[in-house]
Structure 1
Amino acid sequence: MPTNEIRIPKQKRSIEKKDAIIVASYELFCEKGYYKTNTAEIAKAANVSTGIVYNYFHDKHDILKEVIGLYISRLESEFRTTLSRQIQKEDLHNLVKELLDALITSHTMNVSAHNEFMALALLDPEIQNYFVAFEARLLAQIKELLISAEFSSCFLEEKLRIAFGIIEQLCHDYIQQIIDEAQLSRSKIVAVQAITSLIEMDVEPEIK
């Protein structure tokens, strides 16, 4: 069990030091990988002593959680503009296209970060929960936006999860270079039409 007493920074200088540690860690984890980075390297990159690192974090895993939080906040910023406005039913095609483009951008803005953090999520349930919560928040916002535009709420959550799966697969195929730019452009057209049709589809609950 960690025994160091963690300080919560309140003054500007202390907050800046903690933020510097998180940013330095983010960059090192992307460059070298989480497991190949040690706290001494983090301290040097952040221009603080190793002791200062342990003033704010129990251990490297504690830092990782803050780094994942930073990464997810950057992901969420990609959707803020699109999800902060009201839409009409006839805007659905453009909304889906905007969300698709935003998801592709969020995957490609730092491919090394995406690959490293997704690999860690497969091994660490606590880290995986960060991404599960991010997906849940994103889909809940999209659902609320669609309901406000008077789309049926029936099976809407299930439709959005299927749609998200389609887009995730497309994004992964692209960043793993399974498909090229031309194939991505064609796939985006198919995905937008498929997801638009899926959301507009009437689904009747089975009566048992």
Structure 2
Amino acid sequence: MQEICIYEKTLIRLLSGCPSLKRLTINSDGSTITDIGNFTIVDLFECLPVIEYLSIWFYIVMFFGPDRLPKELPTTMVHLKYLCMIHICFHHEYGLRFLALLIRSSPNLEKIKLVILEDMLFEIIVTGSYTIKDFSNIKFEHLKELEILNFSNEENELEFVKLMLAKSPVLKELKICFLSDALDKEVELEISKIILTSHCASPVVKKTIVRG
């Protein structure tokens, strides 16, 4: 679903009528989802009991009661293997909180892809109280691949990568793509050095770092 105009309740009704849905992509900046009713992000994910592949824009959380985000979903998404979050912002009030919610509720994830939002595209940036420390009790026992696009070394980005490396014992591939022209070459080299020399729980992880 891409840029469709829909009510919250209609979206929930549509998804709840598809109990065998395994793949879902919702690409929307939120302007095409109309707030009506009292639905939360929990209601959305309760409609996806057997989801295996999920690609979702971060904006959607703003239309499902972001101030009521739980630490964990009531129903664990045990079937989810691939998670892609687009336009995630690590220093937005709900950025890390939403990401932690999805990862903590998906114990069998094998691949995570994050497309970080460029600041110029975000009108309101708010630093929240949720930090990288809130990921410390999350296990990544099945994660094999981590891909991050538009990496710019903003607050928490580098710490997130280091934590993932340290807590992913079967990780096979790490891909980092720097945001083009966001950093000078010396800074990129320093960040690359830190990532390449960071402790890895997996003995076979391949690290690839490029400029976008």
TM-score (norm 1): 0.29
Larger Rg belongs to: 1
Q: Give the structure with the larger helix fraction.
A: 1
TM-score (norm 2): 0.29
